[in-house]
Structure 1
Amino acid sequence: MDIKVDDLTGSEVVELIREHLQSMTLHSPPESIHALDLDALRKPEITFWSVWEGDELVGCGALKELDGQHGEIKSMRTSSSHLRKGVAKRLLQHIMEEAKRRGYRRLSLETGSMDAFEPARRLYASFGFQNCKPFSDYIEDPNSVFMTKEL
């Protein structure tokens, strides 16, 4: 797997982000969707990676700097044709390594509380993320699960 910083202009990446946003609308009420669109993912405080096997896009994810010591995982997505192949695990390892390299002391995320998000919650828990209170600009929401990990 090749993980590279991506400028979000390639048609494969644009389609995967579209798929990600569409999936969020299927499983979450509009007021509880915190997924970022292409313009939001291009902000300077966000680093976005695409994951490739040869010339095939297999996943993506991003790291948002909240402050000099705290980062947030955003837009983790595995292509539907590559689920359960270790893509998310490898990308999460990569994002955690980058967060440590930057000197972050904490890495946090928001994901859904619905059954569709259970695989994601299990993945994060397997890496030592624990449930926490809302962070940054988030508020309590029964449709959200907040998780964090000290690095």
Structure 2
Amino acid sequence: MWISPASPNDPDSLELVRRHRAHSAEHSVNPADDHVLDIADLTGPDVAFFGLRDGTGELLAVAALRHLSADHAELKSMHTRSEARGRGLGRALLDHLMDEARARGYTRLSLETGTQPGFAAARRLYASAGFTPCPPFGAYTATANNVYYTREL
């Protein structure tokens, strides 16, 4: 497998972003608390988008880093194809993004996810990688449907 920069506009990326948006919408209680980026935002100058591919070139997972400040980035749009889950791909992609954030000079990486059961695997992954709960950051506000994590890099 390999991880490299990707375009969210590529057909296989679009498919995974669509799946990510559908999963988030299905498991979010309140649409106002669903903070999934759309394609226009994922292609913005403050976002770096990455894809994880298998040996045949099939895209299995995507994620993005969004610049918040000179030393702080946000993990966005992390999604592994459902058929490929349970193989450690999410962890591999998360580790790569933490390394990428360090290489870009960030000293903190934060994220937002849902509190509902459909987001439990994501919360376990982030906790296992050293992310700890934190107050809302950036433009986020506290709700019962969202939880925020951060970690020093």
Bin for the TM-score computed over the shorter chain: over 0.9
Equivalent residue of 1:140, what SS?
coil
Name 1:33's counterpart in structure 2: 34
Q: 2 CA distance for matches of 1:121 and 1:129? A: 9
Name 1:77's counterpart in structure 2: 79
Q: Cα distance, 1:25 vs. partner?
A: 1.0
Amino acid across the alignment from 1:57: L
Give 1:132's match in structure 2, choosing from 118, 134, 137: 134
Name 1:87's counterpart in structure 2: 89
Amino acid across the alignment from 1:102: R
Which runs of 4 or more aligned residues in structure 1 lie more than 4 Å from their structure 2 counterparts after TM superposition? Answer: none
Using the size of structure 1 for normalisation, the TM-score is 0.97
Q: Cα distance, 1:9 vs. partner?
A: 2.4
The runs of 5 or more residues in structure 1 that have no matched partner are none
Q: 2 CA distance for matches of 1:7 and 1:25? A: 23
Give the CA RMSD over aligned residues: 0.8
Amino acid across the alignment from 1:2: W
Q: Does 1:20 align with 2:20?
A: yes
The runs of 5 or more residues in structure 2 that have no matched partner are none
Using the size of structure 2 for normalisation, the TM-score is 0.96
Q: Cα distance, 1:84 vs. partner?
A: 0.7
Q: 1 CA distance for matches of 2:8 and 2:37? A: 12
| Identity value in percent | 42
How many residues are aligned here? Answer: 151
